[in-house]
Amino acid sequence: MKILSQNTAFGGMQGVYSHQSDACNCEMTFAVFVPPKAIHEPCPVLWYLSGLTCTHANVMEKGEYRRMASELGLIVVCPDTSPRGNDVPDELTNWQMGKGAGFYLDATEKPWAENYRMYTYSTEELPAFVSQHFRVDMDRQGIFGHSMGGHGAMTIALKNPDRFRSCSAFAPIVEPSTADWSVPAFEKYLGPDRAAWRRYDACALVEDGARFPEFLIDQGKADGFLENGLRPWLFEEAVKETGIGLTLRMHERYDHSYYFISTFMDDHLRWHAERLR
Ligand SMILES: N[C@@H](CCC(=O)N[C@@H](CSC=O)C(=O)NCC(=O)O)C(=O)O
């Protein structure tokens, strides 16, 4: 593991690290905040998955999670959103595909399949790596994310209900297999057979029988992506009569930005901490 930076914050340590990823076949960077409590005992770990165009750095710089994570004793890990490097295929003028747009899936189509394996990276390789290098209690894991990362968090939780005790999302893409900004990417990463897309779609997963106890979703009503990209009401409909709990909070005047995310960050951290005790 390479240490790229380490800074003391709120009595804990915000670090940025990189390692060679077998899943993505490239060097991957991630951020980890370790609260002071982890000096004495293993702490619960919260995985934060970021949205389109992001790296590990967006939430680290603008998410404002450290004060509360420090207070609650939560380790927060923020992976990158795609493989990186000059050898990794990309669409330079398309922010909804390629680098910064990994959609937390394992691509099956050329040329993407060689590197774009963010599902395996986020659910297997990075957790194994983090558990080796940090004092994490892997029996107490939660996952959350924003937009494309909200989609990632919800689909990963639905597919791994025994691993995660809590899941929440800020403005998630709840049905990427029908949303304007994700259908072209799904076609390129996964091919034309839409049956294969359902494994990476929260609404479809629920329809197909996947279950997770409960979700918290915050959504801004002034979010420019609400109608065509995010549509949380589809998930509300999907979970009806399934026994899955959903707290969906719609907020007047909030948009899609980190101003919105940072406003509700403390609520999400408390939501997770209560379930990770
Ligand atoms: N470049 C785009 C806007 C991209 C954008 O809003 N990205 C969001 C995530 S969107 C869904 O996954 C984001 O988190 N951006 C990073 C940030 O720091 O705000 C455009 O031109 O509209």
- Span 207-219, pLDDT tens digits: 999 999 999 999 9
**Whole-number pLDDT of residue 145:** 99
Q: What is the pTM of this model?
A: 0.98
The reported pLDDT for the residue numbered 154 is 99
- Predicted local distance difference test score (pLDDT) of residue 11: 98
Rounded Cα distance between 26 and 190, Å, is: 20
Maximal CA-CA distance, the chain: 51
pLDDT score, position 193: 98
**SS3 at position 34:** strand
Instruction: From residue 126, give the alpha-carbon distance in Å to each of 45, 123, 171, 261.
Output: 12, 7, 24, 24
Q: Whose CA is nearest to atom 21 of ligand 1?
A: 95
pLDDT at 104: 99
- Residue 54 CA to residue 71 CA, distance in Å, equals 26
146 is catalytic: no
Q: Which of 122, 147, 168, 182 is catalytic?
A: 147
Question: Which of 153, 152, 125, 150 is CA-nearest to residue 141?
Answer: 153
pLDDT score at 54: 98
Residue 127 has what pLDDT? Answer: 98
In the chain, DSSP assigns E strands to: 2-9, 12-21, 26-34, 43-49, 75-79, 136-146, 164-170, 214-220, 245-251
Q: What angle do CA 31, 34, 39 make, to 5 degrees?
A: 150
pLDDT at 46: 98
Q: Are 182 and 201 in contact (CB under 8 A)?
A: no
Annotated active-site residue 147? The verdict is yes
| DSSP code of residue 226 | I
Low pLDDT (below 70) residues in the chain: none
Contact 148 CB / ligand 1 (< 6 Å): yes
Active site annotation includes 255: no
Residues 39, 133 contacting (CB under 8 angstroms): no
> What's the pLDDT at 247?
98
| Residue of minimum CA distance from atom 18 in ligand 1 | 58
